[in-house]
Structure 1
């Protein structure tokens, strides 16, 4: 699990009407991505804005600390869920009626006594469908509106597959990789020992040859350029001994702010003469 504040590059300023605007630039190699979840930034932006990356199947705690008050209502929500909550806690108990079905029996407060203002959320057995922007709000007794305390972007990734492939020099090799869905914004095939350049790079509907390592120019391509059914497998043509190494398949799904490592493949290339 990876947790960190958005210290990549964050800029904020006051726009029209005094509304606070925040832009976060995240660098993935030489590509700068505008975080999709910041397109609808609210007027109150919590200072402890965080991105959390976790593997599917794990339990995760989304931290939030409210003013130390006893009589408060806690609202955990996600922007794409409409009027339904991730969790609504009022009068000392969870309110199930307005909870989104996908979170029933999977979420709870870390401490229902809310000692020291701890209103952190425990989310159990996460899946890729739990990826999204979570907002923690509290409503004090006697007030009419809730206060936004924190915003957390949760990115759930699938643990990568590890494979070993052996090929003879001169052959064409397919390195298989399949994305969990078709909403693919970026595909990056890279080899960990290359100091500069990728094996293959695709971003926002375009193949990006400028960032390809010279040794792979005109030799690497996707098996299916339409990426049907999430197929982002790579064809590597006319392999040589120098192509041996560990290849990683990363994908960037639309409406997320994180790359996901899907496959890690160790390729061994042998000389046909020496393999006999």
Structure 2
């Protein structure tokens, strides 16, 4: 009888513990993030002690999960490939029940509804498959990369602006153009430019505006542009551990897209990304203004010359007339 009572008490204790976790107030939040940012999906367990499993999932991923932490380490067996090496717990010690998720370098396909679950007790199965209610639901929406339009006159130097949202620990910067396929415009890694797979037309013509990348500035300087430079340029950064491959192949959304259109000298185009007149139009306007000023100055000089010539002619006629009168007086 005592054995049955002990078993029943143990069962009731486990059920009570599990119900306590499941009955915690549900947190439902919405987060909007820019492509390329690191975001934190907050979650706090009501039972701060003896948390042995933390699971973050997304309904549209099916059986694969975002993160599973068990036995004091991450279980990547059934983790969705897109989240590998991109997720972590904010505090692996889970102090005060903090089981928040850090999602690095977000992209548009990370948009979705994330659910947080914890389990207190002992699980022997390889996959958690927690049947309890979520204690936190977060709706994440990742905004597409910033797009800009830029028009420049052939022969100019142009700057394609790009700023990383997370300015710390930028180890790779890549500027690419879709029509160049595997070749890139610029690749900066290991604190230097990597020219190995750079497209031939950009060699010795591109550079970063600030190689120190202060405040996340990874803008591209493109020198002496031609019509062949017209295209859509994409800016990407990499901020995790060092890449050992020669080619970065950053499988992330660009943080900035710049549509560059190069026109012949003297032609006007559209607006720049800051809403002002583009450089080619300014130059053409400057030339027209300079031509008008030159014409006015030329006409003024010509008019003064005519006045001087007329005055000289009048003085000459008066002089001749006086000479003639003096000659006639002497004769008389």
TM-score (norm 2): 0.43
Q: CA RMSD in A?
A: 3.9
Unaligned residue ranges in structure 2 (runs of 5+): 1-66, 103-111, 130-139, 243-249, 269-283, 285-332
Judged with a 3 Å threshold, the aligned counterparts in structure 2 of structure 1 residues 165 and 228 are, in CA distance, closer, same or farther, namely same
Higher strand share: 1
| Counterpart-to-counterpart distance in 2, 1:148 and 1:195 | 40
8 A Cα contact 2:153 2:266, kept in partner: no
- 1:55-103: CA deviation from partner (whole Å, max 9, x where unpaired): xxxxxxxxxxxxxxxxxxxxxx944413227xxxxxxxxxxx5135789
1:123 pairs with 2:153: no
Please state if 1:187 is matched with 2:186: no
1:98 pairs with 2:97: yes
- Measure, in 2, the Cα distance between the counterparts of 1:202 and 1:148: 41
| 2:238 aligns with one of 252, 272, 276 | 252
Distance 1:205 1:269, change over 3 A: same
Contact 2:90/2:100, CA 8 A, preserved across alignment: no
Q: Judge conservation of contact 1:221–1:236 (CA < 8 Å) in 2.
A: yes
Q: 1:272 Cα shift?
A: 1.1
SS in 1 for 2:255: strand
The alpha-carbon distance between structure 1 residues 185 and 156, as it changes in their structure 2 partners (threshold 3 A), is farther
Aligned-pair distance for 1:244? 0.4
Q: 1:102 to 1:259 in 2, by over 3 A?
A: closer
- Which residue of 218, 224, 228 maps to 1:242? 228
Q: Secondary structure at the match of 2:179?
A: coil
In structure 1, the gaps of 5 or more residues are 1-36, 54-76, 86-96, 104-120, 125-133
Residues 144 and 157 of structure 1: is their aligned pair in 2 closer, same or farther, counting only changes over 3 Å? closer
Show the counterpart of 1:5: none
**SS in structure 1 opposite 2:212?**
coil
Closer, same or farther: CA 138–43 of 1 in aligned 2, 3 Å: same
Q: How does 1:18-33 map to 2 (within 5 A)?
A: none
> What secondary structure does 1:166 align onto?
strand
Cα distance, 1:198 vs structure 2: 0.5
SS of alignment partner, residue 151 of structure 2: strand
Aligned to 2:202: 216
Instruction: Measure, in 1, the Cα distance between the counterparts of 2:97 and 2:92.
Output: 11
More helix by share: 2
**Secondary structure in structure 2 of the residue aligned to 1:163:** strand
Larger radius of gyration: 2
Give the Cα–Cα distance (whole angstroms) in 2 for the partners of residues 196 and 99 of structure 1: 43
Structure 1 residue 270 corresponds to structure 2 residue 263: yes
SS at match of 2:201: helix
Question: d(CA) in 2 for partners of 1:144 and 1:222?
Answer: 52
